[in-house]
Amino acid sequence: DVKVTQSSRYLVKRTGEKVFLECVQDMDHENMFWYRQDPGLGLRLIYFSYDVKMKEKGDIPEGYSVSREKKERFSLILESASTNQTSMYLCASRLTGGLGAFFGQGTRLTVV
């Protein structure tokens, strides 16, 4: 079974802190994604990566950056956390041409 693991289930950070959300997948998928999920807004794509060191902006990249130094790991970085970044963050991976995407369990981030 594909496993996508996010480093934390719950995080509480202070405004202005630098925050790292880590995601690791074990199925050698080329593509990895970061989404944010907010009530009534569904899943919105922040960034995705189709290969090591490659990244593309999604629909809402402002305030975020990403890093993909190894194929299995995709990190989401909040350079200076703000309260409007309080949300559920979901990581996913996908094989190019494969069936669907596999999701991590989510990280609920609260910025106070």
Neighbouring CB atoms inside 10 A of 74's CB total: 29
Tell me the CB-side half-sphere exposure of residue 11, using CA atoms within 13 A: 25
Instruction: Choose one: 13-21, 64-72, 77-85, 100-108; the region binding other proteins (CB under 8 A).
Output: 100-108
Spatial distance between the Cα atoms of 105 and 90, rounded to a whole number of angstroms: 7
Nearer to other proteins, 101 or 109 (CB): 101
List of long-range contacts for 66-71, beta carbons under 8 Å, 24+ apart? 66/34, 68/32, 71/28, 71/30
Per-residue interface string for the shown chain with other proteins, residues 39-78, x marking contact by CB under 8 A: -xxxx-x--x-x--------x-------------------
Is residue 11 near other proteins by the rule CB under 8 A?
no
Instruction: Choose one: 13-21, 31-39, 61-69, 70-78; the region binding other proteins (CB under 8 A).
Output: 31-39
- Measure CA 72 to chain center: 13
Is residue 109 near other proteins by the rule CB under 8 A?
no
Is residue 1 near other proteins by the rule CB under 8 A?
no
